Structure 1
Amino acid sequence: MLALYLRDLRIGIRAGGGALVGVLFFLAVVAVVPFGVGPDLKLLARIGPAILWIGALLASLLGLERLFQADREDGTLDLLALAGDRHPPALTVLVKCLAHWTASVLPLVIASPLLGLFMNMEAAAIGATTLTLLVGTPAIAFIGAVGAAVAVALPRGGLLVSILILPLTVPVLIFGVSASYGAVNDPEPFLPPFLILAALTLFFAVIGPLGAALALKQATD
C-alpha cells in the first residue's frame, strides 16, 4: 500500500502540471470575484470563506478523471483487481484517493491563506477556513473516486465526473463554510459544524472507496 501511495503521488505531481494547475485555477477563481462584486473590502471579507471553499472545490475536480484512467489504459487496474485477495479493493481505492489528495488538493489548502489575504479576510477567518479545508477536502476526493470509477470506461469522462459528484459535495461545502463563518461571527458556533464536517469526511472515507471499488469491478468485468 505504501508503494502504491508513493507511485500515485509521483504520477499525480507530474501529470498535467500536477498541483500547479490546480493552484493557478484556484487563484483565477478568487481573482475574478472582486471584478464581479466590486471593490467593497467589507463585502469581500464577508464572502471570503465561501469563495475560498468554492474555488477549492472546483479546483479539486480538475484531476479526478485521471484517478483510474491511466491505470485502466496500462493494465494496472486489472492487476489490482487480481490482487484483491491480498489487498481489498476498497483499501486500494482509499490509498489512491489519499495520494490524489496529497498531490492535487493539499497544495490548494496550503495556498488558501495567501488567497484569503487577497479577499481582505481577518486572521481568524483565514485560519478557520484553512482548517476546514484541511479537514473537509479529503471528503471531496473520496466522493470523486466514485464518479471517477463510474466514468473510467468513458473516453471523455471528466465532465461526467463533475456532474455526478457536485451534488454530493454540497453538505461538505455547507458545513465547511458554516464553520468558517462561526469562527468570526460571535452568534454562530464553530465547533458543531466543524465536527459534522469531520464526520462527513470519515463517512465518505468508508462509503466512497467501497462504492468506487464496486464500480471498478463492474468496469473490469
Structure 2
Amino acid sequence: MIGAGVFLPVLFFLLVAVLFPFAVGSDAIILSRTGSGILWVAALLASLLPIDRLIIPDVENGFFDHYAVRGISEEWIAVARIIAHWVSFAVPLMVALLPASALLSLDWSVFWKLEAGFLLATPGLASLGVMIAALTARIKSGSGLAALLLLPLAVPLLIFGAGAVDGHQPGAFLLLAACSLFLLAVAPFVIGAALRVGQDG
C-alpha cells in the first residue's frame, strides 16, 4: 500500500495551490479570502486518489482470506488499515499545508486553523475512504463508484472545516471533531462486515 502512489495526493494538493493563483490572479487579498476553502476542497479531492489501492489489491491476492484462517478479526484489520491510511495520506498532507498556505498568501492564524481542522478531519476522512473501498472492492469499476460515494459523505467535514477557518460557524471545530469521531467509530464495523460478506461470497 505504501509506494510511489502515496505521494500522488500530496502532489495533487500542492499542484492546486500552485495553479489557483494563475486562475484568479496574484492579488494577496483575493487569495487570502478564498485560499482556505480551496485547500479544503483540494484535500477532499486528494483523498480520492488512494482509494483503489486501499483494499482491492489485498482482495485480489487473497490476503483477507489468510487473515480469516489465522483468526484475525476483520474489525482489527480495518483499524490497522485506517491507521496506515491516515499515516500515509493525512500526515504528508498536513506537512504540505505549510508551502501550500505560503503559495496562497495565507497568514499564520489561518494556517494554524487549517492545520487544526485537518488534524480533526483527516481521521474521519481516512475512515470513510477505507470503508468505501471495502464496500466497493468486489464491484466492477468500483473505484469510480467509490469516488461518487465518498464526495457527498465527506461534505459535512468540508463544511465544518471551512466554517472553522472563517469563523462564521460557532462550534465548527467541535462539530468537525464529532463527525470525524463518528466515522472513526463506525468504520471498523462496516469494513469488517463488508470483508466478511466478500469472504462468504
Whether these two folds match at TM > 0.5 is yes
Determine the C-alpha separation between the residues in 2 that align with 1:136 and 1:70: 26
Q: Counterpart of 1:214?
A: 193
Tell whether the 8 Å contact from 2:32 to 2:105 is kept in structure 1 after alignment: yes
What 5-or-longer segments of structure 2 have no aligned partner?
none
Q: Which amino acid aligns with 2:181?
A: L
Which of 116, 133, 148 is the aligned partner of 1:131?
A: 116
Task: Pick the aligned partner of 1:45 from 22, 32, 50.
Answer: 32
Counterparts of 1:202 and 1:126, CA distance in 2: 23
Q: Counterpart in 2 of 1:172?
A: 157
Give the distance between the partners of 1:89 and 1:83, measured in 2 at CA. 11
Paired AA for residue 46 in structure 1 = R
Question: Does structure 1 retain, via aligned residues, the 8 Å contact 2:161–2:173?
Answer: yes
Q: Aligned partners of 1:68, 1:94: CA distance in 2, in Å?
A: 13
* Distance of 2:70 and 2:180 partners within structure 1: 27
Equivalent position of 1:6 in the other structure: none
Give SS of 2:51's match. coil
Aligned AA for 1:213? G
Structure 1: unaligned runs, 5 residues or longer:
1-10, 183-187
Take 1:148 and 1:189, find their aligned partners in 2: how far apart are those partners? 31
SS at match of 2:149: helix
Rounded to whole Å, the distance in 2 between the matches of 1:194 and 1:88 is 33
> Which residue of the partner structure matches residue 153 of structure 1?
138
Q: How does 1:173-212 map to 2 (within 5 A)?
A: 173-182=158-167, 188=168, 192-212=171-191
Whether the aligned pair in 1 keeps the contact of 2:65 and 2:199 (CA below 8 Å) is yes
Q: Is the 8 Å Cα contact of residues 19 and 107 (structure 1) preserved in structure 2?
A: no
Secondary structure of the equivalent of 2:154?
helix
Residues 1:29 and 2:11 aligned together: no
In structure 2, how many angstroms separate the alpha carbons of the residues matched to 1:81 and 1:173? 36
Query: If the length of structure 1 is used for normalisation, what is the TM-score?
Result: 0.84
Identity of aligned residues (%): 35
CA root-mean-square deviation: 1.7
C-alpha separation between the residues in 2 aligned to 1:54 and 1:80?
36
- Aligned pair count reads 200
Asked if the contact 2:6/2:50 (under 8 Å) is kept, the reply is: no
Q: Give the CA deviation at 1:205.
A: 0.6
What TM-score results when the alignment is normalised by the length of structure 2? 0.92
Map residues 112-127 of structure 1 onto 2, 5 A cutoff. Answer: 112-127=97-112
CA shift at 1:27, angstroms?
Answer: 1.2
Q: In the alignment, which residue of structure 2 is the partner of 1:101? A: 86
| TM superposition shift of 1:143 | 1.0
The answer (yes or no) to whether the contact 1:139–1:204 under 8 Å persists in 2 is yes
Is 2:42 aligned against 1:55?
Answer: yes
| Counterpart-to-counterpart distance in 1, 2:187 and 2:52 | 15
Contact 1:145–1:209 (CA<8 Å) still a contact in 2?
no
CA distance in 2, matches of 1:168, 1:94: 20
Distance 1:46 1:180, change over 3 A: same
Q: Which amino acid aligns with 1:71?
A: D
